[in-house]
């Protein structure tokens, strides 16, 4: 007897988003399996960030359905989505600039435990401090423990933003342009750290990225957004070789070979 097929960790059906007369998403159908690493590509305005915002609860869809592990979560707010195991980082890091890295992370752990940012009697417990120290060490930024985030190099800010996102111990992490603003010679280093940690923790990852070299190296599956729809969905080679995607998004960048990812 064949083994039962596990329900996708994330499924969207007929997902639409309209802003007045503008259709930002025109009907997205998608299933994401546990442990997948999916790159999302597309020109500016193609609907990528709108999709991420809806899945994580920052926007409500105009139509359609979202399920997480088979449970309908359509339209739920971000704090509830976080409790369901869906977390995200942002293109512009969401950090308290006047606080240190450690302080930001302690508050992130406290917020994850208490269901959102609200006044807490005492966030500075020994357990939260220990977990914050561990998180900084795992992502290689422990040396910046006491640095105020306003003074951090951009690459460290990006890593800290991801550390904050995983404080809630997500099952699915969505990354919106995790290497934007980072010097090209540091992008692979940053992604090596992020993807290595996510693989170690068994976290499913969807990441929006404009750098096709990064997509080619880290994605095991690619979604190409075009005019609010998914124009192609498949392996790097399949999507990069898709005529419509090549003309509108990737240009002459061809996936003729797969560079090896971290640990391969």
State the CATH number of the domain containing residue 160: 3.40.50.300
Tally of structural domains, the chain: 1
How far CA 205 is from CA of 86, 92, 136, 178, 232, in Å, comes to 10, 18, 20, 12, 18
256 found inside a domain: no
pLDDT of residue 121: 59
Separation between Cα atoms, residue 187 and residue 205, nearest integer Å = 17
82 found inside a domain: yes
51 found inside a domain: no
pLDDT digits (tens, 9 = 90+) for 188-238: 999 999 999 999 989 999 999 999 999 999 999 999 999 999 999 999 999
Name the residue range of residue 91's domain: 35-45+76-250
258 found inside a domain: no
Range name among 29-33, 76-80, 95-99, 186-190 with the lowest pLDDT average: 95-99
**Prediction pTM value:** 0.86
């Amino acid at each position: 007897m064949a083994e039962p097929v596990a329900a996708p960790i994330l499924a969207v059906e007929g997902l639409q988003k309209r802003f007045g007369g503008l259709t930002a998403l025109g009907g997205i159908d998608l299933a994401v399996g546990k442990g997948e690493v999916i790159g999302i590509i597309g020109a500016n305005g193609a609907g990528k960030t709108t999709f991420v915002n809806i899945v994580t609860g920052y926007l409500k869809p105009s139509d359609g359905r979202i399920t997480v592990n088979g449970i309908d979560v359509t339209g739920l707010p971000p704090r509830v989505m976080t409790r369901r195991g869906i977390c995200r980082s942002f293109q512009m890091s969401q950090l308290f600039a006047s606080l240190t890295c450690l302080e930001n992370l302690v508050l992130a752990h406290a917020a994850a435990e208490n269901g959102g940012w609200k006044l807490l009697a005492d966030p500075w417990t020994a357990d939260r401090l220990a977990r914050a120290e561990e998180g900084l060490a795992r992502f290689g930024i422990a040396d910046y423990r006491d640095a105020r985030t306003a003074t951090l190099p951009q690459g460290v800010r990006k890593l800290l933003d991801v550390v904050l996102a995983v404080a809630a111990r997500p099952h699915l992490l969505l990354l919106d342009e995790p290497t934007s603003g980072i010097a090209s010679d540091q992008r692979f280093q940053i992604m090596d750290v992020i993807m290595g940690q996510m693989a170690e923790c068994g976290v499913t990852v969807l990441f929006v990225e404009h750098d096709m070299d990064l997509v080619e190296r880290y994605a095991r599956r690619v979604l190409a957004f075009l005019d609010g729809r998914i124009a192609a969905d498949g392996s790097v080679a399949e999507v990069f070789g898709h005529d419509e995607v090549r003309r509108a998004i990737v240009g002459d960048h061809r996936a003729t070979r797969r560079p090896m990812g971290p640990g391969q």
